[in-house]
Amino acid sequence: MAGATQTTTEYIQHHLTNLVFGKLPAGYQRHLPDGSVEVLERDTWTLAHDAAEVADMGFWAIHVDSLAWSVGLGVFFLWLFRRVAKRATTGVPGLLQNAVEWLVEFVDGTVKDSFHGRNPLVAPMALTIFVWVFLMNLMDLVPVDLVPWLLSLAGVHYQKIVPTTDVNITMGMAVTVFILMIYYSVKVKGFGFVKELTLHPFNHWVFIPVNLFMEVVALLARPFSLGLRLFGNMYAGEMIFILIAALYSAGFLFAVFGGFLQLAWAIFHILVITLQAFIFMVLTVVYLSMAHEDH
C-alpha cells in the first residue's frame, strides 16, 4: 500500500513498472536505491533500478517478471492436465477430472462450430490458448501488494504478476497467431492467396492497388486487435485494483470502503478474465478458419 514515504502517484507508477533486464551503455550514471551514483565503465547488462533505467534500456530489454510468470503458468497448465490424464478413470470422475473433461468438451465444441477446415492442430491449440490466457488473467485476482511485498523482502523491488497486462506478452501471442494465419493461407490456398489479396473485393486488374491496400490493412488489423484487446481490458482491470488499493492508506473509513470495492470488483472481474480468454481463443480459431477457406 502507499505509505508515508510514497505518494499515490509513485505507488501507482511502481506497480505498473516491470522487472526489466537490459543493457546500459558505458558512462551511464545509475542512481542507486541508497542515494549514491554509480558510473558504468563498460556496457552492462543488469536489472533496472527505476523507470528511467527501463526507458534507457530500449527495445531489447527483457521483462523478466512477465516472462517468468507466463512460462511458469504455462508449465503449471501442462503439469496439471498431464496429471489428470494419467489419473483419469472410467468410473465416477473426481472433481478435477470432471472439470478438465468438461473444459475439453467445451473447447472441442467451440472449435467444431467455428473452424470449417481440417487441421488436428487447431483444437489442442485452442485449449492451450484458453487455459493459458485464463491462468495469466487469473493472477489479477491476487492482492496487488501481496507478491510485490514478499519479493521486496528478497531485494526485488519491481514485480508485475499479471502477464496479460504487458503488451509484449499479448502482442507476442497475437503475432504467433498471425504467422500461423499466413502459413496456412499460403499452404492451403497457394497462389489463390495472392489472388485473394489483389482481386478482392473488386475483381479487375485495374483495382489491384486498391484491393491490395484494403486487404493488407484488414489482414494486419487482426493481430493488433487480438493482442491490444486483451492487453487493454486486463490493464484497465489491474489499474482499478491498484487505485482501490491506494485507498487503504487514506484512513480507516476509506480502507473499509476500499475493501468492499475490492471484493465487488474481484467478483465482477471473474467474468472479465474468463470472457477475455474465451474471446482470444474464438478469434484465433476464426482467423485460422478463414486461412483454411479456399474459394
Beta bridge partners of 47: 21
User: What's the pLDDT at 254?
Assistant: 82
pLDDT score at 198: 86
At residue 258, the 3 state secondary structure works out as helix
What per-residue confidence (pLDDT) applies to 78?
Answer: 95
Q: Is residue 54 part of a domain?
A: no
pTM for the structure as a whole: 0.90
Q: Which of 67, 47, 54 is nearest to 163 (CA)?
A: 67
* CB within 8 Å of 3: residues ≥ 6 apart: 249
Cα distance between residue 1 and residue 43, in whole Å: 35
Does the residue 210 lie in any domain? yes
How far is residue 158's CA from residue 160's CA, in Å, rounded to a whole number? 7
Residue 18 within any structural domain of the chain: no
* Residue showing cell 501488494: 145
Tell me whether residue 245 is exposed, middle or buried, using C-beta atoms within 10 angstroms of its C-beta: 0 to 12, 13 to 18, 19 or more.
Answer: buried
45: in domain: no
Residue 211: active-site member: no
Q: How much is the pLDDT for 275? A: 96
Q: What is the pLDDT of residue 21?
A: 93
Q: How far is CA 225 from the centre of its chain?
A: 13
Instruction: Look up the domain containing 266 and give its range.
Output: 64-292
Q: For each successive 10 residues of the chain (295 residues), what is the average pLDDT?
A: 65 88 89 80 87 84 94 96 88 86 94 90 95 95 89 87 94 95 91 84 85 91 93 93 85 84 91 95 94 78
Residue 103 lies in a domain: yes
From the list 119, 229, 249, 289, the catalytic residue is 229
pLDDT at 250: 78
Q: Is residue 24, in this structure, part of any structural domain at all?
A: no
Structural contact between residues 231 and 165, judged by C-beta atoms closer than 8 angstroms: yes
Question: Which one from 98, 152, 203, 225 is the annotated catalytic residue?
Answer: 225
Residue 36 known to be catalytic: no
SS3 (DSSP) at 271: helix
Is the residue at 11 inside a domain? no
Q: State the cell numbers at 53.
A: 533505467
Number of domains making up the chain: 1
Residue 39 belongs to some domain of the structure:
no
Catalytic residue list contains 225: yes
d(CA 177, CA 289): 12
Cβ neighbors of 151 (< 8 A, separation 6 or more) are 159
